[in-house]
Amino acid sequence: MKRSDPALGAFATSSAASAASVILSHNRRLPSLFASVVVVLMPAVLGCGVQQNIVSIPKTDSIAIVDTEGASIYGSQKIDMTASPPRIILREKGRYMLFRVDRQEKLGDVQPHAGEVYVINDALNLEKVGTFDATKTDDQLRCEFLKPDSRGGKLSCP
């Protein structure tokens, strides 16, 4: 019989299964050991060949955390002195916009959702760069996304 014969594969599979059932039926500890091995090894077996796209978002000089009340801006800020009264410029190139809430209306070409991070690109449009945990505090988000010299003196990050 050749090794590539399908009958051989079926025979080997059924023999292995019956041998395993005989061993398991005669030893009461083996089923729990077998289950433990399966639980430990199954994620590794299922994860083989699966590529995870984990992208690290580089830190920036300025973030805006958007919630139901508006936007809280941390880090560097530019002021529009021509406005009366002077106001902070929200759409500043390079600033990250972190949305804690879903937006009902589009902002340019995008409709942000809670937990998404956008960067304001060269054309001053929003461009999605990743996601974040929307349950984190503002201080935790400042530590995660701002460069150390942009965080302010009072904030201590791990």
Phi/psi for 97 (5° steps) reads -110, 115
Show pLDDT as tens, one digit a residue, over the chain (158 residues). 444 444 444 444 444 444 445 444 555 554 554 444 444 444 444 444 444 344 578 888 999 999 988 889 988 888 889 988 998 888 899 999 999 999 888 788 889 999 999 999 999 999 999 999 999 999 899 989 988 877 776 777 77
- How many angstroms from the chain centroid is the CA of residue 139? 19
CA of 91: how far to CAs of 10, 38, 149, 152, in Å? Answer: 65, 52, 21, 21
E-assigned strands of the chain? Answer: 62-67, 70-75, 79-80, 87-88, 96-99, 116-120, 126-131
Residue with tokens 């349950």: 135
Ranges of each domain in the chain: 6-47, 62-150
Helix (H) or strand (E) holding 101: none
CA of 90: how far to CAs of 8, 13, 100, in Å? Answer: 70, 65, 16
**DSSP structural state of residue 109:** T
Model pLDDT, residue 26: 52
Model pLDDT, residue 27: 52
Model pLDDT, residue 2: 45
Find, among 100, 90, 88, 91, the residue nearest to 132 by Cα.
Answer: 100
Residue with tokens 């904030």: 155
